[in-house]
Amino acid sequence: MNVRKEKEKEFFIHHVDTFKAIGNQDPLFIIKTAFFQKGKYGRFLQLFESEIGKGEDIYIEFCDNVNNANGELVNIVPFSEDRQLFKYKYNPFYTEEYETKNGTNFKGEPYVLYTVPISEMIAVLKDATEITHALYEKRKTETMINLKKEELELPKLQSSLFPDFEEAFVSDKEEMKLDAASEDCPLSEMTVKDLAAIMLMKPVSDKSWLNIIIKTVKDEL
């Protein structure tokens, strides 16, 4: 079984709805790996003469190759979670503008590879909208930053040393009945044990009314 051909079909099926939105249900679609080139900025991909020389736009999803201990290709997986579809817009001057690499395949047939900067790719969104690669990277970075900020935000319970029990924890339907004269005390009379009970949300205080509050809060969470 040709792993690359099988995986290329799977990757293509993933983008079928996008191709329908574009209005091109039979596009030139390929999967490619991206790499860094020593001394140059950004990532690149390589296109065969048989691909880049067809005179049409090429739709691409980037992938990673999975090899076994013998270096044999056993699987191909998507490069990124968002499975972004890119387009290489046909450049009639490709023979003049891109670096080339010559080689021979396993049959001994010669081939030419053209090294193309990924920065030239166009990101094709699912609704067929096209944006530059630079804008795609910018939006992706902003999304990652926003997600990281959300992860770092502390829950409301931990946002204050002394939570506002009246606002955050007391149910609108069920109010705690405390005798202010005998079952409350000023902040100056709070002990270390009381503070530990509040911070750990455990009824370990010597003050029964405080333990009742903590138990009630835990039941409502």
Residue 182, classed as helix, strand or coil, is: coil
- The angle that helices 208-220 and 192-200 make with each other, rounded to 10 degrees, is 10
Helix (H) or strand (E) holding 46: strand 43-48
Distance in angstroms between the alpha carbons of the first and the last residue of the chain:
55
pLDDT at 170: 47
pTM of the model: 0.66
pLDDT at 172: 46
Question: Is residue 154 classed exposed, middle or buried when 0-12, 13-18 and 19+ CB atoms within 10 A define those classes?
Answer: exposed
Token pair in block for residue 111: 């081939």
pLDDT at 107: 86
Cβ proximity of 176 and 213 under 8 Å: yes
From CA 18, how far away is CA 141, in angstroms rounded?
23
For the chain, the residue count is 221
Average pLDDT along the chain, 221 residues, taken 10 residues at a time: 90 97 95 94 95 96 95 94 97 96 89 96 97 95 87 60 51 47 62 77 80 76 61
Residues 6+ apart with CB under 8 A from 19: 25, 27, 29, 59
Backbone φ and ψ of 85, nearest 5°: -95, 130
Token pair in block for residue 98: 């891109």
How many of the other CB atoms lie within 10 Å of CB of 201?
13
pLDDT at 192: 74
